[in-house]
Amino acid sequence: MLQRGQELSSRDEPLAAWNGQQSTRAERFHVIFNGKVYFNTEWVDAGQRPGDINDIESNPWQYERDATKAEMARLGNPTGDALLEDHHHPLKT
């Protein structure tokens, strides 16, 4: 199992709310989605939603920890009910 910062990343991106982040190089994103923090274990496409249990085998997002209330208040906490306007995919707030 890959751990944060191993093998993939040329750099770790700061924690942010998930908004369809997409790899253009070997970035490791740390994102808040639905009250949890996830990181990508490989290159990620904008349409791959963290915590998507329907695509668990091929989903590059891995659970890292629960997000704190302070992190969610500061950065946001997208859920499955919003729309990604730029990508026509659920979850952009």
Helix, strand, coil abundance in the chain, percent, nearest 5: 10, 25, 60
Number of domains in the chain: 1
Higher confidence at residue 12 or residue 82? 12
Domain range for 28 = 11-90
**pLDDT for the residue 72:** 97
Convert the pLDDT of each residue in 16-71 to its tens digit. Answer: 999 999 987 788 999 999 999 999 988 888 888 998 767 667 789 999 999 999 99
Q: Are 4 and 14 in contact (CB under 8 A)?
A: no
The answer to the question of residue 4 being in a domain is no
The answer to the question of residue 44 being in a domain is yes
